[in-house]
Amino acid sequence: MTNREPLLRVEDLVVDYYSPRGVVRAVDHISFDIMPGEIVGLAGESGCGKSTAANAILGILREPAQMTNGRIFFQGQDIASMPPRAHRKFRWRHISMVFQSAMNALNPVLRVGDQFVDMVQAHERVSKRDALDRARDLLRMVGIDPLRVSAYPHELSGGMRQRVIIAMALALQPELIIMDEPTTALDVVVQREILQEIEELQRELQFAVLFITHDLSLLVEFSNRIAIMYAGEIVEMARAQELFREPKHPYTVGLMNSFPSLVGPKSMITGIPGSPPDLANPPTGCRFSPRCPHCTPYKTMVHPVLQEIEPGHLVACHLYGAEQELTHERASTAS
């Protein structure tokens, strides 16, 4: 990595859901940054807090979710503390997002073109006509017939809808696009096509990407760096090749072994026994310990901190790095 200033810097982000079952801490003190033009992967099992983190970064958390700690810097500016009006102008212009659910992310009663127009007009003073022209160009760019601007979402296939959303995400030429499992709702063939297209567009336009997936294999060639998330925390972060060559955290190793095969039917052969913890009531100490064969009982009581064990390789696990003290963590979890 160079010494350039990061495009996005997430510091100590915490997001809580105030649910009837109690407070669910879906994102627990995560920190990372993204360089301009960089592709960062965020992987982890379903429910580990990936989408929640993404929504917090984009500033679109809604009740009952609340960002209870942390700061989010974009090009050095703290965007999480922006007043709502300014933030509305900021998002999509600088950070856009391709949503997890292609099927439902478009308004069913508005034409595709109109959903471009209102977005462009919310940020720029342009005529409807010019905005529609731009929509046509963008659709062409993602491989959709420009005439489809006058289609309603239900007239498009799932793959086409996802391309439309990608086109919308590109429209204002943002520096960062968050892609939240952009292809999970689609069949394998379409998945591949769309991924390739995203790759080409990224090479051409040089936007940075935060690519969220629970399918680590997708990230192999695609991303520069990968963060692994478990139960609301980042447990490992490294350059992509390094992570694949030498996964350190037992959870990452488990994820690697549970690769779905690229050709065969998409079955998740889970290499990790057990299931993720309940975030309303997470285990004390290392959250992965109930599923981990490696730790001594004493050490599992201690919460492992994310630390750099090799240049650019961060792991939160007692098997690596300096000995970690039994901190006040215990006292706080006992309460």
Partner 1 sequence: MPFLYRRIAFYVIALWTSLTLNFLLPRLMPGKPIDAFYARYRLEIQNNPHFLDSLRIELGLPKTPLWQQYIQYIVNMLHGNFGISYSFYPTPVIDVIRTTLPWTLFLAGTATILTFLIGTFLGIVVAWRRGGKLDSLLPPVTMFASSFPAFFLALLLLYVLAYIGGWFPLEHSYSGGTDIGLNWPFLTDVADHAILPVAVIVLTGVGGWLLGMRNVMINTLAEDFITMAHAKGLSDFRVMMMYAARNAILPSLTGFAIALAYTVGGLVLIETVFSYPGVGFTLVQAAQGSDYPLVQALLMLITVCVLLANLFVDLIYARLDPRARTQ
Which residues of the shown chain bind ligand ATP in the complex (CB under 6 A)? 17, 19, 24, 26, 46-52, 64, 100, 214, 279
* Other Cβ atoms closer than 10 A to 11: 16
Smallest separation, CB 316 to ligand SF4 (Å): 7
Q: Which does 287 bind (CB under 5 to 8 A by kind): ligand ATP, Mg ion, partner 1, none?
A: none
- Residue 230 touching ligand SF4 (CB under 6 A): no
Site string for Mg ion, 33-62 (x = CB under 5 A): ------------------x-----------
Between residues 137 and 155, which has the closer beta carbon with respect to partner 1? 155
Q: For ligand SF4, which residue of 250, 276, 277, 321 counts as binding (CB under 6 A)?
A: 250
Nearest 10 degrees: Cα torsion 106, 107, 109, 113 = -60
Q: How far is the CB of 288 from ligand ATP (least distance, A)?
A: 15
Nearer Cβ to ligand ATP (26/164): 26
Q: Nearest Cα to 44, choosing from 57, 54, 59?
A: 54
**Per-residue contact flags (x/-) with ligand SF4 for residues 254 to 293, judged by CB under 6 A:** --------------------------------x-xx--x-
Q: Which does 286 bind (CB under 5 to 8 A by kind): Mg ion, ligand SF4, partner 1, none?
A: ligand SF4
d(CA 82, CA 137): 32
Contact 228, 237 (CB under 8 A): yes
**17 is in the binding site of which of partner 1, Mg ion, ligand ATP, none (Cβ under 5 to 8 A by kind)?**
ligand ATP
Q: Report the residue number, 101 or 284, with the smaller CB distance to Mg ion.
A: 101
Instruction: Report the nearest approach of ligand ATP to the CB of residue 3 (Å).
Output: 32
Residues 209-268 that bind Mg ion (CB under 5 A): none
Binding to Mg ion (CB under 5 A) within 98-137 occurs at: 100
Tokens, residue 162: 């996802």
Residue 295 binding ligand SF4, by CB under 6 A: yes
- Tell me which residues touch partner 1 (CB under 8 A): 55, 58, 60, 62-63, 88-93, 96-97, 99-101, 104-111, 118-119, 122-123, 152, 154-155, 165, 168
C-beta closer to ligand ATP: residue 115 or 223: 223
From partner 1, ligand ATP, ligand SF4, none, which one binds at residue 163 (CB under 5 to 8 Å depending on kind)? none
Residues that bind ligand SF4 (CB under 6 A): 250, 286, 288-289, 292, 294-295, 299-300, 304, 317-319
